[in-house]
Chains A and B, each alone.
Chain A
């Protein structure tokens, strides 16, 4: 077990969104005066005005580990990094760090447009915590890595944005702190340069240094990070092997949108109109939570408006990543094509799907010749059930798009 390089304990960060301290000097005076005399806050700091960007995050990062941090915008990633890199202080909690820490919250920090590339390498390096001698020693390496070459003595304001970023990243990449914090650097530069960056970061981490890497780029996270922390609404939602965490994160992108009702705008054409499509439980109520060991149904209500086609309900089930899982249609609806309202339920047996996010494309289609009258999507996610019969004593991640309960036969032969 490696030593802990960063120990984050119960970090909280509060932001006041209210108007206190945002006005002019006299407003501030007035506020503090009224607060003192009347003992009540003006511009009341009600709960709407306080925003907890971090609501108590605890995390341990091991030495030499590359930890990914993912989460949607506003989940608290940037706030956590800002606190880690000492740009702002936490409201509560503490962080202990072993070793020199350097952060790279945005490349090109402190680049002065009028200075040459060379001057900026030195200035930027020093801002990031390097000594002049250290920069001088690595200067050629930095220039070579950036690919700037002969333009190194040109003011950076003449650089293209790509050159600018490459030079900035090159400086940062040659930092040698024990702990490196990186945010979103790979969002820029061409594919070649990104590959170079990932390679460099791999070198950095293989050199035994600790890296915290924040990105929305899941493939970069996947290829670089051993473990990943998933932040959600200021809390640590999940921490574990990158593969699992990324999966969980991706599946969260779609809300549990189990129901469509064609209210305001009609879904359909002049022959068929969708009335509603929803997931239901055995008793016909809305299935808001479905576990892997529940059986649930897809209920489709539609109205045939005109004769002329042979519309029938069907659906395609795919994963959130778009991988098709299976397709199903009602094959027993012969002659039910006259105008009128129909409802149809397809039952999906218990213990057939896995605990991942799915997308169900619900259609009403005439198959020969093909005409899609209605098409709508339902996004949903199955929750795991620790007592699911498909698991038995196994408590780890079950892989795959489906999780069917198979009939196993194991015998003892002697």
Chain B
């Protein structure tokens, strides 16, 4: 019997580095439909529907403004509308956090479907990348509307040419989010403790990232610790592009990209290893 005619081989061990991108392409329609499902199903039986996408970052920005600027008197770079300042960071942070949070539950949430039918599991986190990017773009659009309003009420806009890097920023932060999420979701198949850790861990992470503050406002010693936060340079870059506020160190960007690649590769290996038989332990 000649070997090559088999096109699927099922064996106990598989190469964990094997990505099978061809197979993922085969299932690109599934990714599309997952994205569509996320949008259609989430707002069923809600009054405001997709407007929640817009209201949420706006309200968060207002809250941050009240708490940190009005109550705690944290300084805001002059010339920038505080609403714009906070909102720019909130929407990019939301994007990252949502990639992470959703990916962190992949195995537990999809156990019933993963337990019955095979498809490349990677399609699920991949779909989060897209669906979050779509809701991000709504928010970004809304951001520009708000920015326009503040412009007419006297603030200047400082949109930088680096805004052209937006897709790169999204891509890197999204990969970081889903990679971290995938690793966590693989671990939650064995240890449920982590599910409790994730939501408040993400919150802590926000305070460790330049969302409420800028890297610029930190003292130089603390600033160098920011190197270890791979999200920081891209959040900073994003806000800089929109508001002109921020400090972007190219070395930090390099380190961040390196960390992202390592994170992504480990996530893929762990994810591949887990998806094979997590259904037995879950």
Chain A positions near chain B (C-beta within 8 angstroms):
4, 7, 15, 21-22, 24-26, 28, 82-99, 101-106, 109-110, 112, 114-115, 119, 122-123, 126-132, 155
Contact = CB atoms under 8 A, between A and B. Distances in A.
A83 B115 CA distance: 11
Nearest to B32: A132
A47 to B, nearest CB: 18
A121 to B, nearest CB: 10
Interface string B170-198: 00000000000000000000111110000
B2 to A, nearest CB: 11
A21 B27 CA distance: 33
B100 to A, nearest CB: 19
A82 B191 contact: no
B6 interface: yes
Interface of B: 1, 5-14, 26-27, 29-30, 32-34, 36-37, 40-41, 44-45, 112-119, 190-194, 276-277, 279-281
B41 A101 contact: no
Contact of B193 (A25, A99, A105): A25
B8 A96 contact: yes
A335 B192 CA distance: 77
A89 B12 contact: yes
Contacts of A110: 113, 117
A106 B116 contact: yes
A156 to B, nearest CB: 11
Closest 3 CB pairs of A and B: A86-B118, A97-B8, A95-B10
B8 A119 contact: no
Given A103-B116, A114-B44, A91 B10 contact: no
A127 to B, nearest CB: 6
A96 B193 contact: no
A96 B118 contact: no
A4 B10 contact: no
A123 B1 CA distance: 38
Given A86-B10, A90-B12, A28 B190 contact: yes
Given A103-B116, A114-B40, A114-B41, 8 more contacts: A4-B1, A25-B191, A85-B116, A96-B9, A99-B7, A102-B117, A110-B117, A128-B117
B114 A87 contact: yes
Contacts of B116: 85, 87, 103, 105-106, 109
Given A85-B117, A119-B40, A24 B192 contact: yes
Nearest to A110: B113
Given A96-B6, A103-B116, A112 B12 contact: no
Given A90-B11, A129-B27, A115 B114 contact: no
Contact of A94 (B1, B9, B29, B117): B9
Nearest to A123: B33
A131 B29 contact: yes
A97 B34 CA distance: 28
Contacts of B118: 85-87, 103
Nearest to B45: A114
Contact of A87 (B12, B33, B45, B279): B279
A98 B6 contact: yes
A109 B113 contact: yes
B29 A87 contact: no
A129 B14 CA distance: 21
Contacts of B280: 15, 88
Given A88-B276, A89-B277, A132-B32, A115 B41 contact: yes
A118 to B, nearest CB: 11
Contact of B37 (A15, A90, A119, A128): A119
Q: Which of B41, B114, B116 neighbours the largest number of chain A CB atoms within 10 Å of its CB? A: B116
